[in-house]
Structure 1
Amino acid sequence: MDISVVVPTYNRAALLAETLDAIIAQSLRPHEIIVVDDGSTDSTAEMLATKYRDLVTTCRIPNSGDLAARNAGLRIASGNLVAFCDSDDLWRPGFLQAMADLWAAEPRTRVAYADFTILQDGSDTTARKFDAAPPGYWDSLRRVTPDGSAVFDSPIVDRLIRFQPFFPSCLVADRLFLLDIGGWDVSVGRIIGTDFATALLLAEHTPFGVVPQPLVQIRKHAGNYSADVQAMNLGDAVILEHVLQRRPSLIPYAAAIRNSAARRRADALHIAFSRQDHAAVRRIYTQLATPQREWRTTLKLGVSALPQPLSRFLGGTLLALGSWHARRKLG
């Protein structure tokens, strides 16, 4: 099974080498490595032309965003399968082999995602993303390999609306299938968390594979939006509403989509308040639906509307009281 690897990158010369080295070191050799340089202005081009000249294929495009860069790589890939890895993330050595084993066991698989951990400040956390899923999320998986890889045989759109555990650097897809459905959904533009729209599209198709081992490290740093949960929640809310308007196939999920978007905005407001970002609290409140404007949220808006010294003092007091109350409940 030939697996092409697509690496979109923009001004990540300081991190890209480690990403490429991890791909080259895979226990299953990739069919090809395609780096799509999305108009970088740093030393990316020079590094690729020297250190990796004989190891990767470079495609340079005008700066168009990560979705367009992934699609550019997809169009020139030639493997049976195509894998994607952002230029700041890392694969463990067995990632591609685990994916090949899944397809060997269930050749009809359309897409598959592996579990991941977070790499922050050079340290890998032990928390696995899949473990954070709500109860019942992984029910109905059909196991296909001895090491636990499995597939969903029915669409899982409803599950993704509730909780999104899938990340672009963990994805492998049947190349022709992905081309046939249009590749990555670029209609969302450059909203934060743009890959969510594509994950929702992929979730409509089966078999949908899951590799439970945490074979990917997702790097969190100042240069990526995925480190900002508040921004991700707001971006996901916009994307949910966007895809509902564009995809008739999602109409049966309309109520769940609207509820999820509202919940994500409310969560973003509470995060903003905990940061004492009172301007964001006021801005997000205007986007909330009436059911989310319950008394706690309205109280936080009231505090955030006060002059800055007072809003910061009262905000800090409320946060301290909330923390004290939570400790009492636990104790």
Structure 2
Amino acid sequence: MRRVSVVIPTYNRAALLAATLQAVLAQSNPAAEVIVVDDGGSDETPEVVARHAPRVFYHRIANGGDLAARNAGLALARGELVAFCDSDDLWQPEMLATMQALWRAEPGLRAAFANFRILREGQLQPGDKFADAPPGWWDGLRALDAELAVFDAPIVARLVHFQPCFPSALVAEAGFLRGIGGWDESVGRPVSGDLATILRIGEHAPIGVARRPLVAIRKHGANFSGDVQKMNLGDAQVLEHVLAQRPSLAPLRAEITASIAARRAAALDTAFARQDFASVRAIYALLPPARRGGLRRVKHGVAALPQPLGRLAGAALLRLGSLRAR
């Protein structure tokens, strides 16, 4: 059985970290090591980790963001496989056992990812991430059994449109991940910065899939992944960056460009609904002409009105849209 190192990046989340550690340490197939990388925080994270010593190793770095923290953990990892879990997420007890079963069935896997559900205010939300995939996204997936499957070809083109592979549900062959450069820190520190690395992993098959939700992604006031507007803008920024930096993505230029525009258009609609008119104006300037017509042109016009007239007009437009949707 391949040894698994678990890397947990964290920044000032001591109050959430304890539950994450308990879930990682309660795995039916225990990890060979658990590494908490403190990204320059100032809270009680060292004390939380110390309560779990010697089963958990603490490593501190200067603040550099979650990508840098994951890379620091990857550099320290001694297992053949490395799993990542953000310090506010929770694994099911079978997470690592399921991933190890995937590698036993398919020893040549480069990476694998599991399904997940959203946990909000202590309650698991209905549905799961995989169920949100657009039609055809799972085409070509080769089943190993009722729960495990493999993509035998790269999936990067699919990931441009829908991204079901979150860091807390990802396991990779450690040597492979180091060989492709680890987590891509060149994107800077936008929301959704991990998308750049997921796209790179997606270029390398075979990739395993665990269909059953094995992770709970916690949504709370301290994480940005609950903000749809910021997520869409972050995704667009990352896609723009990787398209400019990676020649391997050139054949997907049209699809990536369309995805960038769609995400920014969605962010504009969210900003308008919030009456965040400064963001509406800024996002509108980034949209291609094809995305500026119709209702979005009206929204931009409303956002340019002097206040409080703009807010009154915006509220009226939103009410009209709500009535039409009934």
Q: TM-score, normalised by structure 1?
A: 0.96
Which range moved further: 39-48 or 87-96?
39-48
The aligned residue for residue 18 of structure 1 is 19
Q: Which runs of 5+ in 2 are unaligned?
A: none
Quote the Cα distance in structure 2 between the aligned partners of 1:47 and 1:167.
25
**Quick check: 1:42 aligned with 2:43?**
yes
Written as runs of structure 1 = structure 2, the 5 A alignment for 1:12-161 is 12-49=13-50, 51-144=51-144, 146-161=145-160
| Structure 1 residues 279-318: aligned runs within 5 Å | 279-318=278-317
The gaps in structure 1 that reach 5 residues or longer are: none
Deviation at 1:46, TM superposition (A): 2.1
| Superposed displacement of residue 40, structure 1 | 1.1
Question: Percent identity at matched positions?
Answer: 58
Question: 1:147: how far off?
Answer: 3.2
Cα distance in 1 for partners of 2:226, 2:108 equals 34
Query: C-alpha distance in 2, partners of 1:266/1:282?
Result: 12
1:124 to partner: Cα distance? 1.1
User: What's the CA shift for 1:263?
Assistant: 0.8
Tell me the equivalent position of 2:261: 262
Which residue of structure 2 lines up, in the alignment, with residue 242 of structure 1?
Answer: 241
Tell me the CA shift for residue 308 of structure 1. Answer: 2.2
The answer (yes or no) to whether the contact 2:95–2:214 under 8 Å persists in 1 is: yes
Rounded to whole Å, the distance in 1 between the matches of 2:319 and 2:3 is 55
Q: Secondary structure at the match of 2:308?
A: helix
Could you report, residue by residue, the CA deviation over 1:98-130 in whole angstroms, capped at 9, with x for unpaired residues? 101111111111111111111111111122011
Q: Distance in 1 between matches of 2:136 and 2:307?
A: 44
Deviating 4+ runs (over 2 angstroms): none
Looking at structure 2, the residues matched to 274 and 109 of structure 1 have their Cα atoms a distance apart, in angstroms, of 44
Give the secondary structure class of the aligned counterpart of 2:160. helix
How far apart are the structure 2 equivalents of 1:176 and 1:241?
28
Task: Kindly tell me the number of residue pairs found equivalent between the two proteins.
Answer: 325
Q: TM-score, normalised by structure 2?
A: 0.98
CA distance in 2, matches of 1:87, 1:102: 24
SS in 2 for 1:127: coil
Q: Deviations over 1:201-259 (max 9, x none)?
A: 00000001111111100011111110111011111111111001111100100111111
The residue number in structure 1 matching 2:319 is 320
Amino acid at match of 2:111: V
Say what the alpha-carbon RMSD is for the aligned residues: 0.9
Offset at residue 148 of structure 1 (A) = 2.2
Distance 2:226 2:307 in 1: 27
Residue 272 of structure 2 is matched in structure 1 by 273
